[in-house]
Amino acid sequence: MITETSEPVVQVKDGFVFLHCNCAKMMNVGVTKQFREIYPKIFDEYKEALWAYESPGELIGKFKSVQLDKRLWACLCFAQLNVAKFDFDTKPDAYEKIFRSVKRQLTAHIRKTFDDKWMLHVDSRLGNEGGTSFDDDILPIVKTVFEFSDIPVVIHRS
């Protein structure tokens, strides 16, 4: 089930939040920056993910889950090499791979905890800074991956 809300994604306190990250060792733009300011630990986890690979390009199509609070997790999703304002290089095909991996992890988490109230939160600005369009490029992937899933997905259009 996919629904939409006007609530800003940074106000979410429960669920998994899908965050777009670049591989440029920065979290200084958009929603990811807002999460960094609210949850400083997220930047340490982000840097740890980047330093685990010799080349930042190896991270494209991967994600790292970070627990921010008891019932709040961030999925740091690596789908862009550089900083979007200077180089529009978001990889839309990486999103499908990441969303499928996140779906597997979230499904396993639900089965492990016997708690089916977990949701995936996706901000509608996802990918927009990197030369892609959320409605044209990202939303169709979300629909394809989660259309027949038991995992509720909330699109935040704020």
**pLDDT given for residue 121 in this prediction:** 93
| 3-state secondary structure labels for all residues of 23-64 | CCCCCCCHHHHHHHHHCCHHHHHHHHHHHCCCCHHHHCCEEE
68 — pLDDT class (breaks 50, 70, 90):
very high
147 — pLDDT class (breaks 50, 70, 90):
confident
Paired tokens of 34:
């807002």
CA distance 21 to 1: 25
DSSP 8-state code for residue 90:
B
**pLDDT given for residue 97 in this prediction:** 87
Domain count, the chain: 1
Q: Identify the domain containing residue 102 by its residue range.
A: 2-156
Paired tokens of 89:
């290089």
pLDDT in tens, 13-30: 999 998 877 766 677 777
pTM given for the model: 0.84
Comparing 128 with 140, which gets the higher pLDDT?
140
Query: In this structure, are strands 153-156 and 120-123 parallel, antiparallel, or unpaired?
Result: parallel
**pLDDT given for residue 28 in this prediction:** 74
pLDDT in tens, 112-138: 877 767 889 999 887 665 556 888 888
C-alpha dist (Å) from residue 98 to 105, 106, 124, 146: 10, 12, 16, 12
**pLDDT given for residue 86 in this prediction:** 44
pLDDT in tens, 70-124: 989 998 888 766 554 444 455 667 888 889 988 988 888 887 877 767 889 999 8
**pLDDT given for residue 24 in this prediction:** 67
Instruction: Check which CATH number belongs to the domain holding 138 and give it.
Output: 3.40.220.10
